[in-house]
Structure 1
Amino acid sequence: MILNSLKLSVLDLVPVLQGVDAYTALQQAVRLAQAAERFGYSRYWTSEHHDMALLASATPEVLLAHIGAQTKQIRIGSGGVLLPHYKPIKVAESFHLLAALYPGRVDLGIGRAPGGSAEAVMALNDNFLEQNRKMPESLKALSELLDHRFQMENKTVIARPIPPVAPELWLLGTNRKSASYAAELGAGYVFGQFMSDQDALEVLSVYRDQFQPSKLQQEPRTIVTIAVVCAETEEEARRLARGGGLLFNPDGVKETETASASKRIVIGNPRQVQDQLLLMQERYKVDEFMIVTMTPEYDERIRSYELIKIIGG
């Protein structure tokens, strides 16, 4: 089995590297999406974070509108919209609009994390914990809105515009609860291995065992998001990982050597990266890997993604 037979996608946190301004960081996001499309990656997703000085990605739906216009065929999506902060209809409207602009290319990835500091969350949401508790109801409403079945006071409410192809719905998470939510909803599930010490195998098993077919999809679909740093040599890859590691872990250098970190980040030359991903694929039986790469410089990030695909053929 070769890496080319495994679907690979890109998660972009839109980092502000090298002391650049937000404009430059966003231009680098476009550059990465275009490169990912050129290299043959399946998806480009971008995240939602609030009041984080090193990340320029507070509103993924806005950035995705721009990314879609600057690319031709790669799927674009959110990794993810933090649903407890919003009414489901607003999220559905935003992604219906994106799907109308870019038919057959849009993914709606949903998360339930706060996405920022306590102060930022308070500024955004008066009652985050209560809205998080209502996540199952919000997810149900969102799925009904995407399928034009949502009702308010016995009247159907449509999230317009109606796109020719509905967005794919995915739920993001790092634990059994999020896996159960995705399974009950009948949505795809994305396990965030790059920010979790839990074993993906256990969580994915919960999702697959509990999956209920729905109008969204008939079979369970899984993605594992993993941090990867690839370079021509292992030594160079480790240097880059240490330089970009502060965003993943404040302890930096030491953490990249621990067993815990080995679950979250793959580091090496192209052949080593391929071997590690294939071993993970065999263990997890996952459909796709979504790769997030942090390096000290943007050019090194692009090159890492390129090397991963080159070895796959």
Structure 2
Amino acid sequence: MKVDEKMTNGKSLNNIKYSVLDLSPILQGGSASDSFKNTLDLAQHAEKWGYNRYWLAEHHNMPGIASSATSVVIGHVAAGTSTIRVGSGGIMLPNHAPLVIAEQFGTLESLFPGRIDLGLGRAPGTDQVTAYALRRERRSDGQDFPEQLDELRAYFNPELDSQYRSVRAIPGEGLNIPIWLLGSSGYSAQLAGQLGLPFSFASHFSPENTLGALKLYRRSFQPSDILKEPYAMVGVNVIAAETDQEAEFLATSMQQQFLNLFRNNPSPLLPPVENMDQQLSDYEKMLLDSRIGSSIVGSPQTVKEKLQQFLDETQADEMIINAQIYDHDARLKSFEIVSTVFKEKE
């Protein structure tokens, strides 16, 4: 990723917000029940450490991810915390009737006022066979995402589109739930800009598209009742430990997870290993580098330097941190180190 020379306005880590993206990993030898306990524990710590929001992601047919019923897990996390924002990173809208999502998030916002975010994506979050099992007769391929988005927004605010006024989302109607568009390419970046919505980019698995998508979002941005200026949050894998060597060891769990996806053999999150190179072909090394090569792995000082460089490149308004770490205590420690890095004065 090259620095865009036009993107320089002197932002520093201690003056942007930082958040958590949690896939609620299922560990080898563990269960979904264990994952949800760990998720809530991490959320409670994240709230204490100053994280701004805690997002959970919709994935299906994935043995290593427990957050498929995303709205339910959001409710679990929100009920166990008190101030941190909780939301979806994201809900894959083509998998659902917009009315159902309006009702679910209307319910969440009614239960936890002022704390719920609705991040939306247009990918299936799974393979095509599972997508069919989810969607059935609707057969949506994501191309009708703008229309689905219009319908969803109209359930919250019927003034936006009169054709949906005969169907009401209760609860949901009249509630001010922030809607974000999520993306790993330029499609949602441009749409978010045109609609004046906040945008979150998945740099944690699509690093090569990051700067182009952010530039497109900012160039396309039209002020709205929601935002007067663009607001971009960028996802990044960060695995921190006391030493670079320890962090690199912990990061092999994430690397194995992606490797198994490449091999069409998704698995629970595996324990770290001493030498990943023994498991990889040259082609697989190239694939791993293209997907997660921009991950930030290291000691507190290494993480600080690389996060600041990433901020210089992206000029993000907020970063959302993902960390697929097998040992829960090590995962907590990583997020604690990251919070300290963001809070340090220059």
TM-score by length of structure 2 reads 0.84
In 2, the alpha carbon distance for the partners of 1:67 and 1:164 equals: 24
Contact preservation (8 Å) 1:184, 1:212: yes
The amino acid that maps onto 2:250 is L
Identify if the C-alpha distance between structure 1 residues 121 and 261 changes in structure 2 by more than 3 Å, giving closer, same or farther: closer
Partner residue of 2:294 out of 258, 264, 272: 264
Q: Which moved more, 1:190-199 or 1:246-255?
A: 246-255
Task: Select which of 77, 80, 87 maps to 2:90.
Answer: 80
Q: For residue 9 of structure 1, give the secondary structure of its aligned residue in structure 2.
A: strand
Residue deviations 1:159-187 (CA, integer Å, cap 9, x gap): 22248851111011011112112112221
Matched, 1:107 2:90: no
* Pick aligned residue for 1:59 from 69, 73, 78: 69
* Shift in CA distance, 268/103, structure 1 to aligned 2, threshold 3 Å: same
Is 2:201 the partner of 1:191? yes
Q: Residue 181 of structure 2 contacts residue 188 of structure 2 at CA under 8 Å; is this kept in 1?
A: yes
Contact 1:196–1:264 (CA under 8 A) maintained in structure 2: no
Partner of residue 239, structure 1: 249
Give 5+ residue unaligned stretches, structure 1: none
Amino acid at match of 2:71: E
Q: What corresponds to 1:293 in structure 2?
A: 323
- What is the root-mean-square deviation of aligned Cα atoms in Å? 2.3
Residue identity matched to 1:209: R
The residue identity in structure 1 corresponding to 2:299 is N
The answer for the alignment partner of 2:155 in structure 1 is 145
Percent identity for Structure 1 against Structure 2: 35
Partners in 2 of 1:62 and 1:17 — Cα distance?
20
Q: Secondary structure in 2 aligned to 1:96?
A: helix
- 8 Å CA contact 1:237–1:269 kept in 2: the answer is yes
1:176 — aligned with what? 186
1:1-313 aligned at under 5 Å gives the runs 3-126=13-136, 130-149=140-159, 151=161, 153=163, 155-162=165-172, 166-250=176-260, 253-254=276-277, 255=285, 260=290, 264-311=294-341, 312-313=343-344
CA 53–115 in structure 1, closer or farther in 2 if over 3 Å, else same? same
Task: State whether residues 42 and 75 of structure 1, in contact with CA within 8 Å, keep that contact through their aligned partners in structure 2.
Answer: yes
Length, aligned pairs only: 313
* Offset, 1:73: 0.3
Indicate conservation of the 8 Å contact 1:17/1:298, yes or no: no
Structure 2: gaps (5+ residues): 1-10, 263-274, 278-284
Counterpart CA distance in 2 for 1:290 and 1:128 is 32
Q: Kindly provide the CA deviation profile for residues 74-129 of structure 1, in whole angstroms up to 9, marking residues without a partner as x.
A: 00000100101112121111111111111111100001111112221111112676
Q: Which has the higher contact order (CA 8 A, sep 6+)?
A: 2
Q: Give the Cα–Cα distance (whole angstroms) in 2 for the partners of residues 41 and 227 of structure 1.
A: 15
- Give the match's secondary structure for 1:198: helix
2: CA distance between counterparts of 1:87 and 1:26? 26
- Whether the aligned pair in 2 keeps the contact of 1:173 and 1:191 (CA below 8 Å) is yes
Mark the CA change 1:122 to 1:7 in structure 2 (over 3 Å): closer, same or farther. Answer: same
CA distance in 2, matches of 1:8, 1:248: 24
Contact 2:132 2:139 in 1 (8 A): no
- SS of aligned partner of 1:36: helix
Whether the 8 Å contact between 1:241 and 1:295 is mirrored in structure 2 is yes
Corresponding position of 2:269: none
Q: Distance in 2 between matches of 1:305 and 1:157?
A: 43
How many angstroms apart in 1 are the aligned matches of 2:208 and 2:139? 23
Query: Separation in 1 of the partners of 2:144 and 2:288?
Result: 37
**Offset from partner CA, 1:182-230 (integer Å, 9 cap, x none):** 1122211111011114241211010111112223322211000011100
* Structure 1 counterpart SS, 2:168: coil
Contact 1:11 1:290 in 2 (8 A): yes
1:20, distance to aligned residue in structure 2 (A) = 0.7
User: Secondary structure of 1:56's match?
Assistant: coil
Decide whether the 8 Å contact of 2:204 with 2:235 is kept in 1: yes
Cα separation, partners in 2 of 1:257 and 1:58, compared to 1, 3 Å: closer
Q: Distance between the aligned counterparts of 2:253 and 2:20, measured in 1?
A: 20
